[in-house]
Chain A
Amino acid sequence: MNRLQLLGRWTAERMTVFVAGVVLVYMFLPIFFVGLMSFNDPTSRLAYEFQGFTWDNWRDPCSPVGMCDSLVSSLQIAFLATIGATILGTLVAFALIRHRFRGRAPTSLLIFLPMATPEVVMGSSLLALFSSAGLAGNLGFWSILVAHIMFCLSFVVVTVKARLAGLDFRYEQAAMDLYANEWQTFWRVTFPLVFPGILAAALLSFSLSFDDYIITNFNHGNTITFPMFVWGSAQRGIPPQVNVVGTTMFLIALLLVLSTGLLQRRRSR
Chain B
Amino acid sequence: MSVADVGETLEGRTGKPPRKRARRSGWSTGYLLLLPGLLWLLVFFVAPTIQLAATSLYDSAGSLEAGYAMTWSFGNYLDALSTYREQFVRSLLYATTATGLALLLGYPLAYAIAFKAGRFKNLMLMLVIAPFFTSFLVRTLAWKSILADNGAVVETLKSVGILAPDGRLLATSVAVITGLTYNFLPFMVLPLYASLEKIDPRLLEAGKDLYANGFTAFRKITVPLSMPGVVAGTLLTFIPAAGDYINSELLGTPRQYMIGNVIDNTFLVQLNYPIAAACSVVLMVVVVVMVLLYVRRAGTEDLV
Contact = CB atoms under 8 A, between A and B. Distances in A.
Interface in A183-207: 196-197, 199-200, 203-204, 207
Secondary structure dominating the interface of B:
helix
Nearest to B124: A24
B5 A163 contact: yes
A213 B136 contact: yes
Nearest to B262: A120
B74 interface: no
A238 B34 CA distance: 44
Contact of B34 (A101, A116, A128, A204): A101
B128 A97 contact: no
B33 A95 contact: yes
B134 interface: yes
Interface of B: 1-3, 5-6, 8-9, 12-19, 21-23, 25, 27, 29-31, 33-34, 36-38, 40-42, 44-49, 51-52, 54-55, 64, 105-106, 108-109, 111-113, 116, 122, 124, 126-146, 148, 150-151, 182, 185-186, 214-215, 235, 239-240, 242-246, 250, 259-260, 263-264, 267-268, 273, 276-277, 280-281, 283-284, 287-288, 291, 303-304
A109 B301 CA distance: 12
A174 interface: no
Given A49-B148, A112-B303, A20 B113 contact: yes
Given A95-B34, A104-B17, A129-B51, A27 B135 contact: no
Given A30-B131, A104-B17, A122-B48, 7 more contacts: A33-B145, A34-B138, A98-B30, A117-B288, A124-B276, A125-B48, A213-B246
A110 B30 contact: no
B267 A30 contact: no
A242 B138 contact: yes
B56 to A, nearest CB: 9
A72 interface: no
A121 B283 contact: yes
Interface residues of A, number: 111
B145 A50 contact: yes
B94 to A, nearest CB: 13
A63 to B, nearest CB: 17
A226 interface: yes
B254 to A, nearest CB: 14
Contact of B14 (A100, A110, A161, A211): A161
A157 B2 contact: no
B48 A126 contact: yes
Contacts of A238: 141
A150 B49 CA distance: 13
A131 B55 CA distance: 10
Given A34-B138, A126-B48, A204-B6, A19 B127 contact: no
Nearest to A264: B2
Contacts of A131: 64, 273
Contacts of B16: 165
Contact of A124 (B38, B182, B263): B263
Contact of A28 (B126, B127, B242, B288): B127
Interface string A82-104: 00000011011011111111001
A19 B159 CA distance: 23
A195 B136 CA distance: 28
Given A116-B235, A121-B283, A33 B17 contact: no
A131 B277 CA distance: 13
Nearest to B21: A169
A26 B105 contact: yes
A120 B87 CA distance: 14
B128 to A, nearest CB: 7
Interface string A210-247: 11011001100000001100110010001000110111
20 contacts: A15-B108, A20-B113, A30-B182, A48-B141, A88-B37, A88-B40, A99-B27, A110-B45, A112-B303, A118-B239, A120-B244, A121-B243, A124-B263, A150-B41, A162-B15, A163-B5, A165-B14, A214-B246, A217-B268, A257-B126
Interface in A146-199: 146-147, 149-150, 153-155, 157-159, 161-163, 165-166, 169, 182, 196-197, 199
* Residue among A100, A243, A249, A260 with max Cβ neighbours from chain B (10 Å): A100
Contacts of B240: 118-119
A100 B22 contact: yes
A253 B134 contact: yes
Given A162-B9, A250-B133, A110 B41 contact: yes
A251 to B, nearest CB: 9
Given A120-B263, A120-B264, A131-B273, A230 B284 contact: no
A143 B37 CA distance: 17
A153 B37 contact: yes
